[in-house]
Structure 1
Amino acid sequence: MLSSSHLPRFARSSVLLVVLAVGLSAFGVACSDDAEAPAATEGTEPLGIGKEVTVPISASAATLVEPGAEPREVLRPHFVVGTDQRVTLRTDHRIEQQINDQPRRDFSTPALTIPMTAETSSEGVDLVIGAVSTPDPLLNKALTAADGSHAGFDFSDDGAITALRLAPSPDTSNAARAALEQAFYQAVYRSIMFPDEPVGEGAVWTVHQEVTGGVTLDQVTTATLTERDGDRLTIQLNVTQTPKSAQWSLPNNAGTLDIEDYVMQGTGTITVDLGLPLPVAGSITVGGHQAYRDPRSASMLQQTITTQVSWAE
């Protein structure tokens, strides 16, 4: 079978569409913030089949910009082992894509609502997933087998997530596994860590993190501590993503596209409790648009993407 680089020029846009449909619909990770996770494409399986899989998360670094008002204190999570927390994670990921003058196509993944129980351990937090729901009736039915699945986060002392652990129930289908994995990856890369210096209300710090995938991104999250009530912190977030390369490597070794335009940014507010492992409230939305050109033909790919992650107790 000919690779896309050897196909006639008139056929390349159709090949690009097929390649991108695989990469986007299977895991929604082709570019932007969704380069955060490995793609579950044809011929591969989602993570966590038959056993728990631990996935390292790229390192992040916090830099203090403004210490804020007195009194100031070094902020650090202080989980007591065995602490229980019930939270609901909701994710909504929208992708629209157009190649040349073809009609726009929707590769969005269904929104998920994931209730879970978290219990802190000496290394992080262990999660038991409850009855996951989605507006998509077929996926909703598939997700019934995921009830009781396990997951978890490992944390550093400054609150950064260093690893994601996934262990779906054995009867969970590939489609349901992939949907859960995508949701947890989105949550991981919308989390926050704290600087080493003492801070008070009004403090501002930035968190730099490399997001790897077909397009390697430099993600910068600017955090502002808008309110503190004991251990409960309200933090305003502003996220920007910038490609570290001028090219995007397509899934399945299908070649590269030149990055013509790339804008991804977002804002939100979360509420965290230093004595609890997961956010207790809040939402953050990141979105934007990209344009890519096939250097071997006249094909142009344009995408509009929006991802929302929210938490509630």
Structure 2
Amino acid sequence: MTALSSLHIPRIARSGVLLMVLAVGLSAFGVGCGDGAERRSEAEGTEPLGLGKEVTVPIPAAVTTVVATGAEPRSLLRPDYPAGTVQRVTLCTAHRVEQQINEQPMHDFSAPALTIPMIAQTTAAGIDLTLGTVTSPDPTLAEALTNIGGSHAGFDLSELGAITALRLEPSPDTSTAARSALEQAFYQAVYRSIAFPDQPVGEGAVWTVRQEVTGGVVLDQITTATLTRREGDRLVIELKVTQTPKSPMWNLPNNAGALDIRDYVMQGAGTITVDLGLPLPVSGSITVGGHQAYRDPHSESMLQQTIDTQVSWTE
């Protein structure tokens, strides 16, 4: 039986396997771990993290390369805040997914937008986050989010400001739907963050950040950063993002087979403002989107998608 035919293409909405794929695999943010050390299997991909306890998810290393050092004066860009520094900030995420199989009608599997106010407090290892009242325009999810206020999360950081681990600890009475939405929102934020270069730079400097994005399709992500303006510790950075699959095939969850990647275009851009004296961006927005096409090598069936993800920060 072929990969797509085993998913019963004419009744695709009832296929648990493909619904799992739509929920996490295609978004490329579905990676996770068990209790901080054990990686989740593909079959566990739809289960949210933090079921009653804090979990720590390692994030693949980010490698920076300076392309141009920029104008004088140049200096090392480093987070510079004492432990206990507090910042109030709001993270907003939106994730649109539309899918078509063969000539069937296009279906919308988008995740509802989230608005996550939080208080960030720095520690010796990174950033602790306490969530405020999380909201969504989707009525069902909004109701599920009512108990998530007061939940905790956090980032561990390298000396270059790269996120090396994501910590999640939703409150015990948070629903599964709310946990899943929160998890995906933070993955989007993690993979839209920026690491600083390892040598002195000035205005006009350009550097790249290469990072593996793990999920249903493992991606090589390259973010090109340009320091367009600096006023003291406040930096305005333009970002351009491209993603390329590291394999020509997509291995489906639950051993459901594999699809050939026939087309994959994911790219985006945005601008963020960061303050070296504060732990999180003070403002900015990044949008990454594109289209993808997958083919079942046995049946010639085609799966096509359009994806658009936006992450924004405000104080």
TM category (shorter chain) comes to: over 0.9
Other-structure match for 1:30: 25
Contact 1:99 1:302 in 2 (8 A): yes
Q: Deviations over 1:222-255 (max 9, x none)?
A: 0000000110000000000001110011122211
Identify the residue that residue 285 of structure 1 maps to in structure 2. 287
CA RMSD of aligned residues (A): 2.0
TM-aligned CA deviation for residue 36 of structure 1: 5.3
Q: Could you tell me which runs of 5 or more consecutive residues in structure 1 were left unpaired when the two chains were aligned.
A: none
2:194 to 192, 195, 203: 192
Residues 3, 296 of structure 2: 8 Å contact kept: no
Separation in 2 of the partners of 1:114 and 1:310? Answer: 10
- Structure 1 Cα separation of the partners of residues 251 and 7 of structure 2: 19
| CA deviations over 1:39-82 (Å, ceiling 9, x no partner) | 99779631101110000000010000000000000111012100
Distance 2:285 2:78 in 1: 22
Partner of 2:48: 46
Contact 2:207 2:226 in 1 (8 A): yes
Partner of 1:13: 9
Residues in 2 aligned to 1:72 and 1:11: alpha-carbon distance in whole angstroms: 56
**Distance (Å, rounded) in 2 between the aligned partners of 1:123 and 1:288:** 35
Q: Flag the 1:108–1:41 CA change in 2: closer, same or farther, 3 A.
A: farther
Partner of 1:94: 96
Q: 1:119 aligns with which of 107, 121, 130?
A: 121
Partners in 2 of 1:39 and 1:112 — Cα distance? 27
Give the unaligned 5+ runs of structure 2.
33-39
Task: State the identity %.
Answer: 69
Distance 1:309 1:233 in 2: 18
Report the secondary structure of 1:101's partner residue: coil
Q: Residue 107 of structure 1 aligns with which residue?
A: 109
The 1-side partners of 2:139 and 2:200 are apart by 49
User: 1:139 touches 1:175 (CA, 8 Å); kept in 2?
Assistant: yes
Trace 1:137-286 onto structure 2 (pairs within 5 A): 137-286=139-288
The residue matched to 2:146 in structure 1 has which SS?
A: helix
Per-residue deviation, 1:11: 7.1
Q: For residue 20 of structure 1, report the CA deviation from its aligned partner.
A: 2.1
Q: C-alpha separation between the residues in 2 aligned to 1:285 and 1:91? A: 10
Q: Which moved more, 1:88-97 or 1:214-223?
A: 214-223
Q: Is the 8 A contact 1:12 1:297 kept in 2?
A: no
Q: Describe the shift of the 1:10–1:218 C-alpha distance in structure 2 as closer, same or farther (beyond 3 A).
A: closer
Runs (4+) of structure 1 exceeding 3 A deviation are 4-7, 9-12, 14-17, 32-44
SS of the residue corresponding to residue 63 of structure 2 reads: strand
Distance 1:172 1:105, change over 3 A: same
Q: Deviations over 1:166-219 (max 9, x none)?
A: 000000000000000000000000000011110000000000001122211110
1:269/1:43 CA distance change after superposition, 3 Å: closer
Change (3 A) 1:6 1:83: closer
Per the alignment, in what secondary structure is the counterpart of residue 25 of structure 2? coil
Kept in 2: contact 1:23–1:39 (CA 8 A): no
Distance in 1 between residues matched to 2:175 and 2:119, nearest whole Å? 22
Letter in 2 for 1:272: V
Distance in 1, matches of 2:258 and 2:72, equals 51
TM-score by length of 2: 0.92
The Cα shift of 1:5 comes to 3.6
SS of 1:285's partner is strand
Secondary structure, aligned partner of 1:23: helix
Q: 1:65 aligns to what? A: 67
Q: For the residues of structure 2 that align with 1:178 and 1:54, how far apart are their CA atoms?
A: 15
Following the alignment from structure 1 to structure 2, what is the Cα–Cα distance between the partners of residues 41 and 104? 26
The 3 A distance-change label for structure 1 pair 39 and 105 is farther
Structure 2: how far apart are the matches of 1:184 and 1:208?
19
Deviation at 1:13, TM superposition (A): 2.2
1:89 to 1:237, Cα distance in 2 relative to 1, 3 A: same
Q: 1:283 offset after TM fit, Å? A: 0.1
Counterpart code for 1:31: L
